[in-house]
Structures are given as structure tokens and as C-alpha cells.
Structure 1
Amino acid sequence: MTAGATILPPGPDHRHVLVWRFGEPVQALSSASVGGGFTTPSWLLNIGVPHDYSRIDLDQHAATIATGRDLRGPGIAMFTAVDVTRAEHVLVERASVCATVGVTRPTWAADPEAGHALWPGTINLVAQLPVALEPAAMVQALLAMTEAKTQALLEAQVPGTGTASDAITLVCPVAASTERFGGVRSTWGHRVAMATHAAVHRGLAAHPGRPR
């Protein structure tokens, strides 16, 4: 399920793409290589790419897809070799998380033997909340999502804390009234953590990759 997203067909240099269009102003915090950081995006892409994908001009690739779909203004783009049509969506008390889950190459965050190699197998997370968060609270919520993802991986006995190319994006409305806290024991941090855990758990159960 891909709540709020449209599935675009494959193109010459990409597989299916999930696209979110934001009609109302939103703020986002993202670890994505394209459009990451604190931003006010008009759109968001989760781009499926081939397993042998080797392009390094990610901004240009994302811009080409966005232009072809008349997506205007600033945006965010994440990339994955996972089939994005198999995304898992979970809603926990209005906290929404969409996850594309691939763990063919899990890694430990502090692995001295890992080096700098990158392999296919990515966990991309897109969370949407109905309330505005202060900047620090958005960081806290992103940390809560990361912890929940790792918890799901460990419970599934995946030998790693994630993959080398995981990305997370949190989207909230722009509003005058903001929530101050987003950690795991705050209202919205707890909800988005629970949704993240469930989405990653479902992705691992439905489409298990064989760690190599």
C-alpha cells in the first residue's frame, strides 16, 4: 500500500517510482541525497532503479523524472533497487509511514570491516504527520524512526542495523502551533516509531531478502 503516493511506470533508466505531491505547504527533514535536510518540498520521489545502477548525477536523474511529470518547485528524491510497488504502508493514530524494504546487503553502523562499498538493498522510509513539529522535535522523530527500524531488523535476526544506502524522510504541515517534542516517549514520536516498526516488519516478512 502507498497511501498518498502515485505509482509511476518504469522509464529508460529507472523502474517504478512513487511520487507524493503536496498541495498544501509542508516542511520536511530528510536524509535523502537529493533535496535532503530541512526543506519545504512540493513533491517527493522514491525512485526504483536497477540493481546495477551506477549513476552519480542523482540530482539530474531526479530532475529529469520530475520535469517529465510536471513536478515543479523544490523536491526530495530517494533511490532504491527495491520494487517500490511492494511498499508497505502503516497508519498508527494518524502517523503514516510508507516503507520500501530491501536487506540483501545489511551492515552494522560501526563495522570497521565494512569499508565504503555500496550494494543494492535499501530501506527507504517516508513518514507523514498531521501536526507541525519544531525543528528539534523533527530530529527527535527521525531518530525514533531509525531506532524503530533497527529494532525490527534485530527482531527479524537481520545481521545489521540497516543498509549503507537507507534514507528517511519526515513530512509535517506548516502551522503556527508546533509540537515541542518528537522523541520515542512523546505522543507523535511514539506513534511514528510504532508505524515505522510495523512497516519494516511487514516488509521483511512479505519480501525477505537473503543477506549476503
Structure 2
Amino acid sequence: MLNEPLLTARHEDGRDIPLLVWRADRLLPSVSSGPLGGGLGGRKWVLNATVPMSYDREDPADHLADLADQLGLDGPGVGLLTGVDVAEVVDRADTGVRVWATVGLGAPVWAAAAPAVLTQRAGTVNIVAYVPARLGDAALVNAVATATEAKVQALAELGIPGTGTPTDAVTVLCPADGPEAAYGGPRSTWGAPLARAVRAAVVAGGAVAVVPWSERTFA
């Protein structure tokens, strides 16, 4: 099982910058679009790290691997980045499915936008989900699509003019044991509660005006 996330921090540029860490006691089947540990495979942890909105490193996977090493995270894991304070994470549950979302919507775009629009400064919506039943590989991939559809539904309800941001990421994990569920679509046994939980988390997170971490005033 995936444990509750731990809020911690790293000291950088004279400030304590927040990090969220989820741990598991064994490898969990997963799928992720994150820069570190993306794709399909067994993962033991997930790291969601706040970075300044000016972040321009060209090696985000290496950066996340260094952060994981500093935190003592061993084995394969998933690493995500966001410009918002990960302490603002929103969690929702539905029928045993757990979803955590950090929602940054400062610069939403349409997925099929013209190239000129894609040069805008990006925010990030990071979604981490745990489904309490073993999903086959195809079902895991389908679950990413389901979570994305639910995110877009939430943005429409919020009146956000876009389908997301260019840097959004989704990670879905599940147990390694038990009967395998073959489907993860929005009308499947586990895709339906996943969709509802994602929608609820993104609506809640997006309804609050979140100031990017690097633009906050610190005492």
C-alpha cells in the first residue's frame, strides 16, 4: 500500500523549499508521466518537489534523483516538479481510491493550442493516485487517460480556459497482488471512483487562488 505523504523540505538558496514524499514498503505496479521514473514499472516512492517558477534546468530527472538521494529514498521511484507549494496538496477518496493533487493553474492552455500560445509561462497540475486493486498494464494506461479526462472536467467546471498546463503529470499506483482488473476507463469498476476523486481534488485545489511558491513573501 502507498503510505500517506510526508511533507518535508530541502534547504536551497537560503530557504527551506517544500517536498512531498509518498513511500511504499514494496514495489507497486505504476504508470507515470513524470520526468523521473516515468512509464510503466514497479515503484517504491513518489516525490513531488516545489521549484521556482523560473526553473529552467534541462536535467529534471537528474535533479529529482539527487533530491531522492538526499532524502534516503532507495529503489525505483517517481519524481515530479511543480511551481506551487506542495504543502497546498489536496486529497480526496472515493470507494477506496486515493487521489492527491497539487494544482497550479497560472497559465492554462488548450491541448491543441497554436505554437505561439505554448510559449506562455506554465503552471503545473500534478496528480498522484492509488487504486486499491491490481491493474493490468493496459488498465494503468487507461487510468491515466481517465484521470486526465476528469481533470479537464474539473477545469471546465471552474471556468478555466484550457485543458491543463503544458507540464501536468499523472502517476497511478496499485497493489501487486490480487485479481487483475483489465480496465481503467471512466465506467469501469476502478476508473469510475478514480475519475470522481480526481475531479473533486482538482476542483478543490483550483478553487483556491494559489500563489506560486517563488512569488510568496517570506518573513
Same fold (TM over 0.5): yes
How far has the Cα of 1:111 moved from its partner? 0.8
From 194, 197, 212, the counterpart of 1:195: 197
From 77, 80, 83, the counterpart of 2:82: 80
Q: Which residue of 1 aligns with 2:217?
A: none
For 2:182 and 2:19, the matched residues in 1 are separated by 34
TM-score, normalised on structure 1?
0.92
Q: Which residue of 2 aligns with 1:55?
A: 57
Q: Which residue of 2 aligns with 1:179?
A: 181
Specify every segment of 5 or more residues in structure 2 that has no aligned partner in the other structure, as ranges: 213-219
Contact 1:80 1:120 in 2 (8 A): no
How far has the Cα of 1:186 moved from its partner? 0.6
How far has the Cα of 1:33 moved from its partner? 1.4
Contact 1:118 1:164 in 2 (8 A): no
Q: Which residue of 1 aligns with 2:216?
A: none
Q: Relative to 1, partners in 2 of residues 1:118 and 1:67: Cα closer, same or farther, differing over 3 Å?
A: farther
For 1:180 and 1:64, the matched residues in 2 are separated by 36
Contact 1:15 1:50 in 2 (8 A): no
Q: Which residue of 1 aligns with 2:208?
A: 206
Whether 1:12 aligns to 2:12 is yes
TM-score, normalised on structure 2?
0.90
Query: Residue 121 of structure 1 aligns to which amino acid in structure 2?
Result: G
Q: Relative to 1, partners in 2 of residues 1:34 and 1:114: Cα closer, same or farther, differing over 3 Å?
A: farther
Whether 1:92 aligns to 2:94 is yes
Structure 1 runs of 4+ with >6 Å offset: none
Q: Which residue of 2 aligns with 1:101?
A: 103
Contact 1:145 1:196 in 2 (8 A): yes
Q: Between Structure 1 and Structure 2, how many residues are aligned? A: 208
Higher mean Cα deviation, 84-93 or 136-145?
136-145
For 1:146 and 1:94, the matched residues in 2 are separated by 19
Q: How does 1:30-45 map to 2 (within 5 A)?
A: 30-45=32-47
SS where residue 179 of structure 1 aligns? coil
How far has the Cα of 1:120 moved from its partner? 3.6
Query: Residue 91 of structure 1 aligns to which amino acid in structure 2?
Result: A
How far has the Cα of 1:201 moved from its partner? 0.2
Higher mean Cα deviation, 16-25 or 201-210?
201-210
How far has the Cα of 1:11 moved from its partner? 2.4
What CA RMSD, in Å, does the superposition of the two structures yield over aligned residues? 1.8
Q: Relative to 1, partners in 2 of residues 1:20 and 1:153: Cα closer, same or farther, differing over 3 Å?
A: same
How far has the Cα of 1:84 moved from its partner? 0.4
Contact 1:103 1:209 in 2 (8 A): no
Identical aligned residues as a percent? 39
Render the CA deviation track for 1:153-174: whole Å, top value 9, x for unaligned: 0111101000000000000111
Contact 2:45 2:73 in 1 (8 A): yes
Q: Relative to 1, partners in 2 of residues 1:57 and 1:188: Cα closer, same or farther, differing over 3 Å?
A: same
Contact 1:107 1:114 in 2 (8 A): no
Contact 1:47 1:78 in 2 (8 A): yes
Query: Residue 86 of structure 2 aligns to which amino acid in structure 1?
Result: V
